[in-house]
Structure 1
């Protein structure tokens, strides 16, 4: 039985006897699994992108597990479903528990305590096979996204598989029970085949649509990934009735191997394309290898199949599951410790070597003992088999209880008993914030506010009010702030980098009686560019949303449009891209006046972005956690020159109220500037009301 990244017991044949085939054990598929895990590790460590290997795992998992269920169902062994469920848990959970425990311990030792909450949440999600949904929801929650990659992120694929196993087990058990009740056990396989094909088609179409509209969610979505598992399930349904013709064996195997190996090289942006139609490459390649020796005895296998069945490849297949579990957290902790996004040749080799060692130890001392049953009556043989099994079982049980207890306790204590609260006001005398820079106000000794724990909750109102469209919402959402009865209107438009100015504008609106209408979308500044991205992730509906907003503004006709006029460059500094000029042109054509605010710095060291609260929690101070002003921003505001060509566009630069002459720190005037890597805290934004008001007064003329 083989239904995950692990090796199958040698006593269970892959196929049942069918009309034309005899049971055949496929050691070449062990090698295919080894090849896939090798590609996954190499691409993660040295290339920083997906290889398609996970998609190979998904197809194989669907193939093996569905085949197992069908054999059990057709054999009418009762009760078989409970037995399969127990064996599935015994095969999946132990290695997962060991790795999860190691991640929790290493996180406590090496990661700042501000990350423990997300680590504990993801640990629980992983152990209960919900990690893919945890990551999907984090992606949807734009402001919850953290620049530090989780050491458990890779377990989303195991969650998808675990969910598939549960659904497949229940569905096939139910169909088998119904067929047994009607005395038609031979109908199980045809019924399963019909269900599998139907749902696979629906899932594929859903994934293809999601790739174009909501890829951040789509990548982790079990429903979008389902067709890959169901492709393997469909092969399991028909496999007993197939025997591969001799002339097709070598070509199918060779093409399959080439497809698996070449996938990561040919599809360089798999994270933004899978599991859409491009995932057909690894899926079809895996199917080709499976079909290349279906119903064929090992003596008649082609040379490519024998190559996959080589002992080295099979050994990699044996340790594939623990190797997959170990390699990612080792890589992430290594990169975090070095502060470098790349492992390098020597470092990457060390990561792979350590991963292989830990994977073998986990396989040898955790997985294998829990699979072995003492079958002889001799006392010495029984002790030899039972003692390691009991030791491994006890170790896993203790680790599970400890990990679940610690992470659940942390979640309860942080999110239930004493959750961080957003700040509404601070004492202006003790907390001058931006005025310490803009007006030279004295900064008396006082604790930093918000604290590093409070920072994540100190966000502008639209985030909590549902007044910013999320990744998957293309409709224009508007809300009113300030003086709703005023006949003077300022429209706040764009992404969260426009949104984080709202607390400052609210203070001014209360003082000077004007209305603020927000038109906001996560990760989407106003743009008419066809390919809008945030952190490398495509936001397909950003252009359509922007076009709708521009048309809406032409109808609503606010007195002023307030939006961002620059953005950071990956190589340092900032810029005003041509796509922003196209927006200015569209707004000017509608007779709208535009205030273009220079974007605030994004914290980064080289190309590595980092989180301000995490840096402070790790022992840094407001200056060491900041960045040089010359690295963050160009010496001259890049929007000045292009704005001069638009009479209705007025550039505003608040940099001197955020950055010191030589450094952009993470706190000024006792107020934390950032609640993550690049968004202003609401508290610091409110402290910017004075400096911003002095810049806006001659433009607006409202006070």
Structure 2
């Protein structure tokens, strides 16, 4: 009994009255998120405020319960109560988004989005987006409709921590360690967020460890803010200044670039000032107004709805920008959906009874209510339907993986799917092109599946082959002749035919490739990241040591960074070719395949076009839009010793058209990368060009 009393005394939030003005602040923070997402295309800081308030409300409520003399020691109940608070609205939004996306929006039939449904349901969407190297993008028809749920994942992960903290207090009867623990977590997380802002902001934005300080600071304020006694006028000034800081954040910062580092102290500091204002004064009264409290009540479903409504509206209406009428309709529609979700889903299915105390037989009481109460039976039916939605959404990823496996990978019947052989006169039987256009994007080369490519964020000083060893050596691993494949993803795709040719002709294939990083000795274009420069330094060192029989890479690319559509030889590329010539290393340079783009140079996915139009010619690429009349690399390479420019234009184009399908095989897996089955069908043409070196 004494231990419990100590716990209660050390948890002063027990007597703190509910802050309705903070409900209003939460509502206005989410409202600004919505407005900025729709009309401005920036991060407003509202999510940062929302996370702070989540920490304030949730851990405070958990510790108030833990301070009771008869608190239940069963950890299931807080989880169950939290699930009933979060999941009903989430399942309604995700279920609706899934149906609309997969029935009417081909752009959304993508494995990355399927994986995000699972990640959103299981509250690790932030880590899924980070693993997909998905920057937080402004609204467009190609952005995931689930992108915004990263913050819900961070919040859910904190809730688990908060419940664990409260349960430890209940089990041990001691809570004096809670404040030092939260201070340590807050300081460590903030320091980490500041460091990561310099190191890798895309990951920093999503990381739970970078965001944790915002939640734990809210928890600390719940525990101790009421102890700070300020004069009434100071409190009123704090509320006014704090609200002004929260509302002005989006106009001063783009949170995707700066938060949750030092700059996030501005919106977080504003929300902290509102909390310190104590709910006193006219500004706090306005925040606690009935209308503002309604906005706070629907803040969670409003946040869930607004982004998929916006993205799906852009796609279904086939527009690139949000006009004032469309934006207004999206906001009003989201408000209506949020209010309906709150009234018809959230409130009825929420845990209305107080949290059970020790000794209560809540399960037995619930069974009794099912026999006597129509309302209880209605909630049970609704909950069962939502559980079915949960199970259905969780199975989607598994079904997709089975379909991907059954698509056959790169191995297709050569008689039914001749691919590039059709360009040389092979018969092409009447057949539906393969693989399915919604799957072809995800049939990747073994360089990706075996982690043999250096990805964004990886240490550029490390060559994957040094880590993975023989798993990153292809072709005939027992051979003594080496072919090195270097460059970025447009070079990487050639490992598929090279692997087959190496096994047939007795040579090893060693990839030294990095995402979006063509190989050069000197960066002369101002296009490529410093990490790419460092990675290439290691590549050149390795090539000089290895002295391979042949190096293969691509030789052209469009200047897409500046909206360019036509192929060029970047000024950096010849510096690598000169390096190879100086070391007497033979080089075979492949002219790049066409890139499918809109007029401004942005990507136009060929498989998505085929899902929409089912026309290989309309979804093809006009050769003159990409290719120069002659291979621009030839004038460099053909005068160099041991080098050869391989003109691949005829491998993809017939006359002036580069169609989306050749020989019953989809040529592209996205806007500019070759599909795995098609590039394998090019093995004979590739061998004809490189055999002289081997």
What is the aligned counterpart of 2:431 among 440, 446, 457? 446
**Is 1:573 aligned to residue 565 of structure 2?**
yes
Q: Distance in 1 between matches of 2:338 and 2:166?
A: 33
- How far is the alpha carbon of 1:519 from its aligned partner? 0.7
- How far is the alpha carbon of 1:74 from its aligned partner? 2.8
After superposing the two structures, state which structure 1 stretch, 391-400 or 37-46, moved more: 391-400
The residue that corresponds to 1:333 in the other structure is: 312
**Is 1:550 aligned to residue 533 of structure 2?**
no
Q: Distance in 1 between matches of 2:342 and 2:572?
A: 53
What is the aligned counterpart of 2:693 among 689, 693, 702? 702
Q: Distance in 2 between matches of 1:367 and 1:77?
A: 28
What is the aligned counterpart of 2:463 among 472, 476, 479? 476
After superposing the two structures, state which structure 1 stretch, 507-516 or 668-677, moved more: 507-516
Cα separation, partners in 2 of 1:349 and 1:365, compared to 1, 3 Å: same
Equivalences for residues 394-543 of structure 1 within 5 A: 394=380, 396-415=382-401, 419-437=405-423, 439=424, 441-452=426-437, 455-456=440-441, 458-474=443-459, 475-478=462-465, 479-484=472-477, 488-510=481-503, 512-526=505-519, 541-543=531-533
1:289-339 CA distance string (max 9 Å, x none) = 323x0xx452xx2x5545544554433222211110111111121122133
- How far is the alpha carbon of 1:580 from its aligned partner? 4.4
After superposing the two structures, state which structure 1 stretch, 86-95 or 317-326, moved more: 86-95
1:630-667 CA distance string (max 9 Å, x none) = 44556665656777998887554423312344433322
Equivalences for residues 28-427 of structure 1 within 5 A: 28-79=21-72, 83-112=77-106, 115=109, 121-139=115-133, 148-178=142-172, 180=173, 188=175, 190-246=176-232, 248-249=234-235, 252-268=238-254, 270-291=255-276, 293=277, 296=278, 298=280, 301=281, 304-370=283-349, 390=376, 393-394=379-380, 396-415=382-401, 419-427=405-413
Residue 672 of structure 2: SS of its match in structure 1?
coil
- How far is the alpha carbon of 1:193 from its aligned partner? 1.2
- How far is the alpha carbon of 1:264 from its aligned partner? 3.1
Q: Distance in 2 between matches of 1:199 and 1:486?
A: 54
Cα separation, partners in 2 of 1:107 and 1:541, compared to 1, 3 Å: same
Normalized against structure 1, the TM-score is what?
0.81
Paired residues, number:
653
The residue that corresponds to 2:681 in the other structure is: 687
Report if aligned partners of 1:486, 1:513 keep a CA contact under 8 Å in 2: yes
Cα separation, partners in 2 of 1:515 and 1:78, compared to 1, 3 Å: closer
Report if aligned partners of 1:572, 1:632 keep a CA contact under 8 Å in 2: no
After superposing the two structures, state which structure 1 stretch, 111-120 or 332-341, moved more: 111-120
Residue 621 of structure 1: SS of its match in structure 2?
coil
Q: Distance in 2 between matches of 1:577 and 1:250?
A: 60
Q: Distance in 1 between matches of 2:527 and 2:450?
A: 25
- How far is the alpha carbon of 1:355 from its aligned partner? 0.7
After superposing the two structures, state which structure 1 stretch, 227-236 or 406-415, moved more: 406-415
The runs of 5 or more residues in structure 1 that have no matched partner are 1-14, 376-382
What is the aligned counterpart of 2:553 among 560, 563, 572? 563
Residue 431 of structure 2: SS of its match in structure 1?
coil
The residue that corresponds to 1:664 in the other structure is: 658
Q: Distance in 2 between matches of 1:366 and 1:289?
A: 31
Residue 271 of structure 1: SS of its match in structure 2?
helix
Residue 474 of structure 2: SS of its match in structure 1?
strand
- How far is the alpha carbon of 1:151 from its aligned partner? 2.1
Cα separation, partners in 2 of 1:20 and 1:119, compared to 1, 3 Å: closer
Cα separation, partners in 2 of 1:16 and 1:115, compared to 1, 3 Å: farther
Q: Distance in 2 between matches of 1:628 and 1:327?
A: 38
1:507-540 CA distance string (max 9 Å, x none) = 4445554432211233433366699999xxxx77
Q: Give the root-mean-square deviation of aligned CA atoms.
A: 4.0
Report if aligned partners of 2:49, 2:267 keep a CA contact under 8 Å in 1: yes
- How far is the alpha carbon of 1:472 from its aligned partner? 4.2
Q: Distance in 1 between matches of 2:240 and 2:618?
A: 55
What is the aligned counterpart of 1:622 among 604, 616, 623? 616
Cα separation, partners in 2 of 1:245 and 1:172, compared to 1, 3 Å: same
- How far is the alpha carbon of 1:587 from its aligned partner? 5.7
Q: Distance in 2 between matches of 1:90 and 1:521?
A: 45
Q: Distance in 1 between matches of 2:329 and 2:108?
A: 28
Cα separation, partners in 2 of 1:207 and 1:548, compared to 1, 3 Å: farther
